[in-house]
Amino acid sequence: MKITGTRSYILIEYDHRVLNIKGELALSAFYASLSAINCWEPPFEKVKVTEDEKIELVKRLLEEQEKGSFRFKIIFVE
């Protein structure tokens, strides 16, 4: 899993696809909007992200976060 981004979004490589999660970087945490997770980035932009994929993605991100893999904390909000 690879994460890159800016102050207003993060790009997550997951299962050979890329997901753009909108949010906001504040101090040492990125507040990610769960409701903004809808579709994958091109060339999969017509493929919707399923609820199961959202759950799995959040679970894996939180596991990586607990390992200390990130320089900032990701907090998911509705």
Name the amino acid, one letter, at 5: G
More confident of the two residues 64 and 13: 13
Q: What is the dihedral of CA 7, 1, 75, 53, to 10 degrees?
A: 120
- The pTM score is 0.82
Mean pLDDT (whole number) for 64-74: 83
More confident of the two residues 46 and 36: 46
Q: Say what the pLDDT of residue 73 is.
A: 87
Q: Say what the pLDDT of residue 12 is.
A: 92
Max CA separation in the chain (angstroms): 34
- Structure-token match 């997951």, residue found: 14
Show me where the domains of the chain are located: 2-77
